[in-house]
Chain A
Amino acid sequence: MPSITREEVAHLARLARIELSDAELDHLAPQLDQIITLVGQVSQVAADDIPPTSHALPLTNVMREDENVPCLTPEQALSGAPAAEAQRFRVPRILEED
């Protein structure tokens, strides 16, 4: 049995907002199956009582004074926008039509 099915890969791609064609699914699903078998080796390590490490070095949160500092101008912020209008990012519709 594969560690991940073609249907599961399609579902994950939807969650990750990547449209995939049938050809891409045919190509990626078996590769992901192999990769998941490889990474599944971590379960061989007995680590129940081991604390997780999310970060290599012990660090504390960094705070700074809430002060105004120079930042990008609206022109700079919009300079890479695929579409802009009235000093704002123009985006496709975000609501379903009634």
Chain B
Amino acid sequence: MSTLLVAKKDFQDAIRSRSLLGVSFLFTSFLAFLLYYKITLETPAEPFSLSELYLPMASVVALVGTLLGYNAIAGEIESGSVLFLLGTAHTRTDVLFGKLLGRGAVVAVTVLVGFAVCAPHYAVLIETPPEILTYAGLAGKILSLGVVFVSIAIGFSSVFQSETLAVWGGVCLAVGFSFGWDSFLAVVKTVLFTSLTLPPWYYLLTRLNPKYAYLSIDGAALEYAPFYLDAWFGLVILAGWVIAPLGIAYWQFNRGDLA
């Protein structure tokens, strides 16, 4: 109950933020542009599939989630509003989970608004009948990724109990997950492997980045596919990315001085 009250208040506060409006607008515009570009401008070898949208949108939602979460704890501590929350019948744990739920709800609204606004756009552009269920499924995947990134950012936010550090931590996280990870893997691939067959752990390394966790690995390219390349293990990775940062946040936030 307490957690929900904090979540509700956090949502009320965050949803009124101008920067959130900006982020939602950019998210929606990007999705609209991407649909337009993929369907009408590109002349692909194969017909358009909604799965082409997954990776670019995953990168964008990584940014959105990080933006929403990086300041969730550090900002409250720095400004002193955490004293308002904890001046009444709440525990530090209520505040932490309330923040996760509140910011998670905000990311959900951003993603759902974006996909809802772009749905007619998609239906009009596509010449074949629109795949409504796949479209909704894609929205769901992107939404859950958003929550994962919020959780990661909140974990960081509780470690850096200063707003400035949290900003830089947030920027590093967003860039790291959106681009850095890919560049690192590209380097590993070029330097270490010359043959076309990559070892299974390389694929694991790839999908440890939450935005790749939903992608199924083409096991045919491998001699054998270990369990960690199965589709279900992607969900384990995502759960790990929610639980581990929250665990760190829980430990850190329950331990420190807040004033």
Q: Do A and B come from one complex?
A: no
Q: Which of B's residues lie within 8 Å of A, judged by CB?
A: none
